[in-house]
Structure 1
Amino acid sequence: MRLKATCRAVERLAEQCLGTPATLVPPLVAGGFNMLYKVHLAGDPLRPDVMVRLPCPSLVQFPDEKTVQEAATARYIAGNTQIPIPQHFSCGRDPTIGPFVILQYIPESRGSMSARLTTPNDDPSVTHVLNPDIDEATLEGLWGKAAACLIQLSRLTFPRIGALVEVEGEGNVAGSYSIAGRPITHKLTDMVRLANIPRAVLPPEGKTYSTADEWYVALAEMHLAQLVFQHNDAVESANDCRNKFVARQIFRRLAKQGRLSSFGFAADNWSAQSSKIDADELVAVIDWEFAYADPTQFMRLKTWLAAMKRAEESIPGVDQRDALPAPLSTYMRESWETGRFWLSYGARKSWAGFFGERGDVLKEDLWKTRVHLLTDVEGAAMEPFVESKMRESEDRVIVDWDPVDARKRLSEVLFD
C-alpha cells in the first residue's frame, strides 16, 4: 500500500473523482484497519485537502462490504443527528486500488478524546487509560460531549437488524438508505482473520434479520463455528473443551427461545479514540466501520469509555466484575445488576469468558454444573467432540475447509 504505483493511483483517483489536480502529501497514516492518504487539491480553495481511505488487505476480510457500509453509515448519521461527521465526498471501487472512501481532511492538531484523557506517557504504544489526576471539570466536559453522541445514536431506530447501504433506483432516490447488508461486525472479521473460520458457515452477504431472536441464534451459531473450526489454540485441555461445548450449546438453546426487540444502532469500533477534539471541543467523530442496526439492549450495555478499554482488557477475570467503576445510567446499572449485560456481551464476543455464577467451583469443573442441561443428543456428542478437538491440538496447521464440507461439519453440532 506504500508502493509508488499505489500512491500515484491514489492521486489519479482523487483527481478523477473531484475534478481537480491532486498531489499526495506524505506521510501515509496506517490506522487500525485502513491506510490513509492525505491529498492536496490544487484547484479547490474550499477543500484544499482530503483523505483517501483504503482498507488494509491483511486486516479487513470483507473490504467491499465494509467500505460501502461504513460510508453509508457515516452519511446517514450526519443527516440524522447533530454528531460532527467528516464529509464523505466519494465512495466506490477502483479497478486498480480496490474499494475506497474520499472524505474531509481532519488536521493532525485535532487529537483524540482518548489522548486528551489518558495518563501522560511518551510511549505511543502504551494503551490509553484514564488519567486519575485529570481535572474534574475537563473530564465532565468531555464525557458530556461523548454522552451526547451516545444519546443521539440511541435514538436512531431501524426496521431490521443489519447494515446500512445507500440505495437508488425504482422507488428510491439517490441518498436514501436501507438496512440491506449483513452486519460486518468486529467479531465476524476476527473469526476469519484470527481463527480461519470458513466463510461458508458465516451469515451470507446481504443477510438481515427481522427479529432479535434470529440474530441471537446467528451469534450463537457463530460461537459454535469458532469452537468447531478454530484448529489452533481453541482449547487448553479436555475440560476446557467441555466448558466451551456446554456453554455454547446452552447459549444457542436460550437464543432459540425467542426475544423480540426494537432495533437501534451499534458501533463495535467506536471509542474515545474515534472522537477528535480541538481545544476540548468535539469537532469530528470517525471510524464507522463495524457499525450496524442491532437489538436496542446492545446499545444500552454498560459502556467502557471510563476505562477506555474493551471489557476483556479491563477485567483480568470474571470474578472481578464487582470492582468495576459505576455504570453511566440507570438502565446500564440495571443490566449490570441483573446480569443481562453479560448475556448480551457474551453474544457478541466469541473469545469472551463467561459461565455464570461460579461459587467455589474450579474452572476445569464448570461444565459439570451445567452438563445436565444438555439434551441426550448433545450430551452423547460431547465426548466424541472433545476427543476430536484434543487430537487436533496435537498438530498445529492451517486447515482450509471445502465450503460443502464446512457446512456439513457445523450442522453436526447444531442438532436441529
Structure 2
Amino acid sequence: MQTRMCPDDVAWEQAEETSDSWLVQFLEVDMLRPIADFILIHNRGEVTEFAILRKGSYNILLRLKYRNGATVIRLSQPGAVFFPEEKVVNEVAVMRYLADQTSIPVPFVIHSGTKKESPLQLSPFIIMEYIEHETKMYDALNTPGCPIEERGILDPNIAEDRLEMLYGQLADILLQLSMPSLPHIGSLNQIDDFTWKVARRPLSMNMNELVRLGGLPRSKLPDLHTTFNTASSYLEALAHLNIEHLIHQRNDAVESADDCRRKFVARKLFCKLAKDKRLTNPSLEKGPFKIWCDDLRPANVLLHENMQIVGVVDWEFTYAAPVEFSYAPPWWLLIEKPEYWSKGIEDWTRVFDYRLKTFLKVMKDCEDIAIQQGRLKEDQRLSGPMGQSWESGDFWVTYAVLHSFAFHTIYWQKIDSRFFGPTENPEEAWEERVSLLDEKEKYEMEQLVARKLKEMKTRALAWDPDEYTLAFRQQLTRQREEADE
C-alpha cells in the first residue's frame, strides 16, 4: 500500500528552483553588506562576524556577531513560504505571547517587517536575539552515526535515564503550551504590549504545503479573517480541504482509477464524520482552545552542552487549536513520522507505544511538580488525556487532519474500521464503503476519476504562488532570456 500521497512533482520542482535561485544571491558580498547595516540600525555593537547561519525549510538565517552576543535576521524564502507576510506577523505575535505567558525560552524579537521594509526589499523578516547553544534535541535523540542526509530515527539503544531526562524537558514545554486558554481557533494578533486576540485564520504548515505542493488554490483556504468557535467546525473545514486537495492536485495525485476512488471515498467519509461531530469530544467542543505549534519537534529545540533546553525556535505555524490537538501525544517521540517509517505504520505504532509509556511517565512527573508549585491544576494534566487519545485512536484523527499527504493511508489503516467496522483488507475496504455514499457523491466520484485519468496524460504546472514567489519567478525568467540573447 502506498504510504503517502505524493506531492505534485512539477510544482515541487518549480518551488525548489525558485527557492534555490533566490538563496544564491546571499553568496555575494554586495548583498550581505546592506543586510548587516540594516541589522546594526536596530542593535548597535562592535561587529566581529557576519555570515549565513543556515538555510531552513522556510527561511534563511544570517547571524551578526558582536563581542557581547549575536543577532539573527530571518528572511522568508520565495517558493517555500506562500503566505510570507501573514506568516511573519503570526510568528512575532505568538513569540511575544509565549514570552509573556510562559517560561518557554523563545528568542527575543527585536524588530520585524514587511518585504518593502526589509533590506533590499528581499522578503518579510524578523530580527531576533541569537540563542547560544551546543546542539539540538534532534541530535541528542537521533541514532548515533546516522548520516546527515538520511532521515533521523530515535536511537533504539538510548539509555532509559537519558531518554527520561530529554523527554522530561519536552514534556514541560508541551505542558506550558497547554496552560493558556483562548476563546477561538485561529492565529494571534497583538493588540498592544500586553494584549493578544485570536483575530485571523489558523495558518498551518499543512495549508502552506497544500498550496505549494498540492495544487490547492489559495482561495480554497479559510478567509484571512476567519476564526472558528467550535472544534467540529474547524475539523470539518480541514476535512473539506482534503477533498479540495484531491480535486485540484494536477500531478501525482492518483495512480489509477481505483486509487482515485479509494482516496475519494476516504475523504468523503471523513468529512461525514466531521460534519456529524463524531471526530471531536462534545465536552471540548467550545474550548477554551490551546496554543498549538505545527513545527514543534526536536530539531527546533536547542540544548546547552549539559543537555538542558536553552531555546525553542521556529514558531511560524502556531495558532489556537482544538484541545484534541494538545491531547494527542507528540508524533515526534520517534523523530520519524509514521508514513516514512521504513518498516511500515504498524511497526511504527508498536515502537511508539513502547516509547510513549516513558513519555507519559515523565509528563506525569512534570505535572506533579507543577501542581506542587501551584502552576497547574489537577484538571489541567496532559498525561491522562494523552494516554486516552492514543488508546482511543483520537491520536490518528488529529494526525490525519494535520498531514494531508499522509491522510488516505492513515484513514484506511487507523480510522475507517473504528467508525465503520472491521474489514478483511484495508486496501480494498473502499469497495465496501462506496455504499455509504449517496448517488450524487458516487456521480461526483466517477466524474473526478475521468478527469484524473485524463490529467495523467500530461504533466502541466498548476499552482497558485504568492505575489513574491511569482515576482521572483518572473525576474528569473527575464534574467535567463537576457542571458540567452
* Short-chain TM bin: 0.7 to 0.9
1:272-283 equivalences in 2 (<5 Å) = 272-278=298-304, 279-283=306-310
* Corresponding position of 1:384: 447
Paired residues in the alignment total 391
Change (3 A) 1:331 1:84: same
Answer whether contact 2:146 2:152 (CA < 8 A) is retained.
no
Partner of 2:424: 360
Q: Which runs of 5+ in 1 are unaligned?
A: 168-172, 403-416
Map of 1:91 onto structure 2: 112
Higher relative contact order (CA 8 A, sep 6+): 2
2:64 counterpart residue number: 39
Q: Does 1:155 align with 2:179?
A: yes
CA contact (8 A) 2:154 2:334 kept: yes
Check the 8 A contact 1:166/1:178 in 2, yes or no: yes
Query: Structure 2: which 5+ residue stretches go unaligned?
Result: 1-22, 361-382, 466-485
1:243-284 CA-partner distances (Å, limit 9, x unpaired)? 111111122222222452411121111101111111111111
Tell me how far apart the structure 2 counterparts of residues 33 and 72 of structure 1 sit (CA, whole Å): 18
Match of 1:164, SS state, is: strand
CA contact (8 A) 1:307 1:314 kept: no
* Deviates most, 28-37 or 306-315: 306-315
2:90 is aligned to: 69
Q: What is the CA RMSD across the aligned residues, in angstroms? A: 2.3
Counterpart in the other structure of 1:413: none
Q: 1:188: which partner in 2?
A: 207
Alpha-carbon shift at residue 309 of structure 1 (Å):
1.9
The answer to whether the 8 A contact 1:185-1:268 is kept is yes
Summarize the Cα distance change of 1:40–1:175 in structure 2 as closer, same or farther, 3 Å threshold: farther
> How far apart, CA to CA, are the structure 2 residues paired with 1:62 and 1:112?
28
Q: 1:196-226: per-residue Cα shift (whole Å, max 9, x none)?
A: 2211112222221111122112101110111
Name the structure 1 match of 2:223: 204
- How far is the alpha carbon of 1:371 from its aligned partner? 1.2
Q: Distance in 2 between matches of 1:177 and 1:13?
A: 28
Say if 2:81 is the partner of 1:81: no
- Whether 1:14 aligns to 2:6 is no
Counterpart of 2:15? none
When structure 1 is superposed on structure 2, of 186-195 and 258-267 the one drifting more is 258-267
Structure 1 position 347 matched with structure 2 position 401:
yes
Q: Distance between the aligned counterparts of 1:348 and 1:119, measured in 2? A: 26
Alignment CA distance shift 1:137-1:151 (3 Å): same
- The structural deviation recorded for 1:400 is 5.4
Q: What's the TM-score, normalizing by structure 1?
A: 0.87
Identity %: 32
TM-superposed deviation, 1:387: 1.3
Shift of 1:98: 2.4
2:269 corresponds to which of 227, 250, 269: 250
Match of 1:330 in 2: 384
Deviation at 1:8, TM superposition (A): 2.4
State the alpha-carbon separation in 2 of the partners of residues 41 and 87 from structure 1: 16
Q: Is the 8 A contact 2:183 2:229 kept in 1?
A: yes
| Secondary structure class of the residue paired with 1:106 | coil
Residue pair 1:239, 1:367 contacting (<8 A) in 2 also: no
Give 1:398's aligned residue: 461
Partner of 2:157: 133
1:214 correspondence with 2:233? yes
Normalised TM-score (structure 2): 0.76
Match of 2:325 in 1: 298
Give 1:393 shift.
Answer: 1.4
Distance change in 2, residues 1:122/1:27 (3 Å): farther
Bigger share in strand: 1
Alignment of 1:228-239 (within 5 A): 228-239=247-258
Cα 1:265–1:312 change in 2 (3 A) is: farther
- Find the aligned partners of 1:115 and 1:319 in 2 and give their Cα distance: 25
Query: 2:103 and 2:37 mapped to 1: Cα distance?
Result: 33
Match 1:174 to one of 147, 169, 193: 193
Residues 276-299 of structure 1: per-residue CA shift (max 9 Å, x gap): 111111111111121111000011
Answer whether contact 1:84 1:284 (CA < 8 A) is retained: yes
**Cα distance in structure 2, aligned partners of 1:367 and 1:148:** 41
Mapped to 2, the partners of 1:343 and 1:28 lie a distance apart of 37
Contact kept? 1:11, 1:22, Cα under 8 Å: no
Q: Quick one: which amino acid aligns to residue 361 of structure 1?
A: N
- State the shift of 1:191 in Å: 0.7
Q: Which has the higher helix share?
A: 2
Write the letter of the residue equivalent to 1:291: T
